[in-house]
A and B are shown apart, each in its own frame.
Chain A
Amino acid sequence: DSGVTQTPKHLITATGQRVTLRCSPRSGDLSVYWYQQSLDQGLQFLIQYYNGEERAKGNILERFSAQQFPDLHSELNLSSLELGDSALYFCASSEAGWGPNTGELFFGEGSRLTVL
């Protein structure tokens, strides 16, 4: 058990819909990261928050948005869903916030999104 909790574990929805994925980081970790994992793209970095502020942005689509709340949990919002958005979405947390050595990332078990 990594200490990172993600909900829901599975989600099936239709194209055009909007979903919200939730993540609770490990106790004491201030950084939250979101990654998308698909068979053809591997693990793609989407966005990082540190103590409520956006710290780094990766290949995140404009249809996607995220935020980190004062209690440090984070939500990833995916809207106008397309078939290609079907993937595993991982949340990870770490103590570190920035710099060349990120430190260990602790991953949740992921949320599997299927868009039909």
Chain B
Amino acid sequence: TQLLEQSPQFLSIQEGENLTVYCNSSSVFSSLQWYRQEPGEGPVLLVTVVTGGEVKKLKRLTFQFGDARKDSSLHITAAQPGDTGLYLCAGTDSWGKLQFGAGTQVVVTP
């Protein structure tokens, strides 16, 4: 079982549309990270959220950390084909291990 549940598993949208992916857990995390992985490459860090209720913006990407620090969301505005990739959330568990969710595969078609 995954400590972090991501939804949806797969998302296919047209260029210019908005999308939101979710990362949920029954555990509290001191911090949560979002990574993006492209084919043939390793994951690359997008953002780290630390404070409950925190909202961080990275150009067209908006990340939110839940008030209870158990969940997070990633919203992409006006998606572009370059946003295509596997989006992974990751949190450090109580044993100090960085655990990843299964990921959401996002495909943005022109």
Q: Is A48 a contact partner of B97 (Cβ separation < 8 A)?
A: yes
Q: Is B48 a contact partner of A90 (Cβ separation < 8 A)?
A: no
- Provide the main secondary structure of the chain B interface: loop
Chain B, interface residues (CB within 8 Å), range = 20 to 34
Q: Given the known A-B contacts A42-B100, A42-B102, A56-B97, are A102 and B92 also in contact in the complex, defined by CB atoms under 8 Å? A: yes
List the B side residues contacting A90 at CB < 8 Å: 42-43
- For residue A104, CB closer than 8 A to chain B, the reply is yes
List the B side residues contacting A102 at CB < 8 Å: 33, 92, 96, 98
Q: Given the known A-B contacts A100-B92, A100-B96, are A43 and B43 also in contact in the complex, defined by CB atoms under 8 Å? A: yes
- For residue B44, CB closer than 8 A to chain A, the reply is yes
Q: Give bound CA distance, A63 to B60, whole Å.
A: 44
Chain A, interface residues (CB within 8 Å), range = 20 to 34
Residues of B24-73 whose CB lies within 8 A of A? 30-31, 33, 40-45, 48, 50
- For residue A105, CB closer than 8 A to chain B, the reply is yes
The digit string for B1-12, where 1 denotes a CB below 8 A from any CB of A, is 010000000000
Interface residues of A (CB under 8 A from B): 2, 4, 33, 35, 41-45, 48, 55-56, 58, 90, 92, 98-102, 104-105, 107-110
Q: Which 6 A-B pairs have the closest CB atoms?
A: A107-B42, A42-B102, A100-B30, A43-B100, A104-B45, A102-B98
